[in-house]
Structure 1
Amino acid sequence: MSPDLLTQAFETLELDEPSPGTVVVRLNRPDRLNAMNNTMFDELERVALGLNDRDGCRVVILTGAGRAFCAGFDLADAEHLADLGAMGMLDQQELAARSMLAIRSMRQPTIAAVNGAATGGGLALSLACDLRIAAPAAQFNTAFVKIGLSSGDLGTSWLLTRLCGPAVASELGFTGRMVLAEEAVTIRLVNSVSAEGALMDDCLALAAQIVANSPGGVQMSKRALQMNMEVGSFAAAIELENRGQALLTRGTDMPEALAAFKEKRPPRFTGT
């Protein structure tokens, strides 16, 4: 992968490539529990769009520096929100929402390594990822209703309902109560909980399993899984799947996989 993005200096983020094809994006405001501000929204969008253009980037892990994943919008910057006009507040919302959309729209699978609190916008950020692995200290809440706002923010109402079901999403959205790591597994909010100190190792191991597969196959799988959450019929889902499979058989990875099977060797995928 071209190193330019990895060597750029960001005010609120740190980037690292611990293994070929796997990029870690770390929220880096630990003194503020990685709370979001407009600079972070802008940098998240720019990094997501930049990594999306890198063929060598195969998996992205998103995590937080220090003891929190992300404490949501920084309330120290929130006092002016009530003074914004309607269009000014819409601009503010769209700035924040673009960062979530950019992350969710990445062609690479994204893993949220939730190392601590993920509240409000932090929960939304974890939901925007494809997979969520939690540390024992992870905790989640919608938080919005605690400060007079709606849980319909930054995609939370759409994603939380599809992950946990409407009844659980309604309870969490109306109460803003805290969900600890073990409960998060039972309500399908996270995929798994790591042992103490093992979160990043588990995420890197999961990333390695993904990187070992065909880049095109993984990317088309992500597209089908996401898009078919939004279509209205089985027939439409099948149509989308058919197009993806037809495209993939025109590349080099499927013939390589068949040849590797016959020759009893690991496949050498290129994504071309």
Structure 2
Amino acid sequence: MREYVHLLVHEEGAALWVTMNRPDQLNALNPVLLEELRSLFSELYLRRDVRVVVLAGAGRAFCAGLDLKERRSGGFSSTGAHLDYQRGISEIVIAMRRCPQPIVALVNGAACGGGFGLALASDVRIGTPSTRMNAAFIRIGLSACDMGVSYFLPRMVGSSIAAEFMLTGRFMDSERARELGLFSRIVEPDVLEDEGRAFVKDMLNATPLGLRLTKEALNCAVDAQGLEAVIAMEDRNQVLCARDDNYKEGIASFLENRPPNYS
């Protein structure tokens, strides 16, 4: 595991806990933090020892979006150079969806702009009463379509509600987010980590292969051409899982009412 400047990263068994650590800046995304997030999620693709990822922000915010005080200065030499820089940012959410580990986001406080994108790119989101999210890009002279927000949000809440928040930059509080299905739970900040651990524990009851293939199939089902395409993916997954060495242990642990011991 590499050393990071703005990320706190530690492993607990098969779970990787990742905390954005710029609390005095509300974990705003400066160039170093952007590179570290992109690198971490890209490297997870080939790590089979990590089965679940928990993403959080230190202090009183999840992530306030791009750090405008540390944004790249001096402009770009060309449109192509600017596009390369932009794609370096958007690659983070692509890597988050591509990595086979489910990502549990502990979203406390502000999740704005890029922070909103990070939350939406996660698989499970848990909020607190102080959580506030918005597509802040449109409030700083940009389009609200950034870091996958225009892909994730309409698929999760529908086109009209997505347009409401993206065209205005309005804030969405935790209760509205839960009503819309964006949050699985809303808990007090002092039990947010415990709630994350409960999700990790339940996810680790799945076989390593079953967990990875479930995330993969969910990703594909969102954009599948129809029911038959989804069923084909499901059938493939079930056959692969049933032929995996851990399948018998999964059955045995269920019948014996005990925690599984997967190889």
Task: Give the TM-score band, short-chain normalised.
Answer: over 0.9
Tell me if the contact between 1:256 and 1:267 (Cα under 8 Å) persists in the aligned partners. no
Gaps of 5+ in 2: none
1:38 touches 1:96 (CA, 8 Å); kept in 2? no
Alignment correspondent of 2:19 = 26
RMSD between aligned residues = 1.7
Q: Give 1:270's aligned residue.
A: 262
For residues 229-259 of structure 1, give each alpha carbon's deviation from its aligned partner in whole angstroms, at most 9, with x where no partner exists: 1111111111111111111111122222334
SS state at 1:122 partner? helix
Q: Match for residue 10 of structure 2?
A: 16
The alignment status of 1:227 with 2:220, answered yes or no, reads: yes
User: In 2, Cα distance between the equivalents of 1:113 and 1:50?
Assistant: 21
| Residue 205 of structure 2: aligned partner | 212
Sort the Cα spacing of 1:260 and 1:11 in 2 relative to 1 into closer, same or farther, 3 A.
Answer: closer
Question: Equivalent pairs: percent with the same residue?
Answer: 35
Structure 1 residue ranges (4+ consecutive) displaced by more than 6 angstroms after TM superposition: none
Contact kept in structure 1, 2:249 and 2:262, CA below 8 Å:
no
Q: Provide, for residues 56-112 of structure 1, a one-character-per-residue CA deviation record: whole Å limited to 9, x for no partner.
A: 212101000111111111111336386553112101111101111111211111011
Q: Which amino acid letter does the alignment assign opposite residue 25 of structure 2?
A: R
Q: Mapping of 1:96-111 within 5 angstroms?
A: 96-111=89-104
Per-residue CA shift, 1:127-153, capped at 9, x if unaligned? 111010012211100011101111111
Q: Secondary structure at the match of 1:133?
A: strand
Question: Could you tell which deviates more after superposition, 42-51 or 223-232?
Answer: 42-51
Q: Tell me, yes or no, if structure 1 residue 119 matches structure 2 residue 112.
A: yes
Aligned to 2:130: 137
Letter in 2 for 1:70: C
Structure 1 portions without partners, runs of 5+: none
Q: 1:172-187 maps to which residues of 2 (within 5 A)?
A: 172-187=165-180
Question: How many residues are aligned here?
Answer: 263
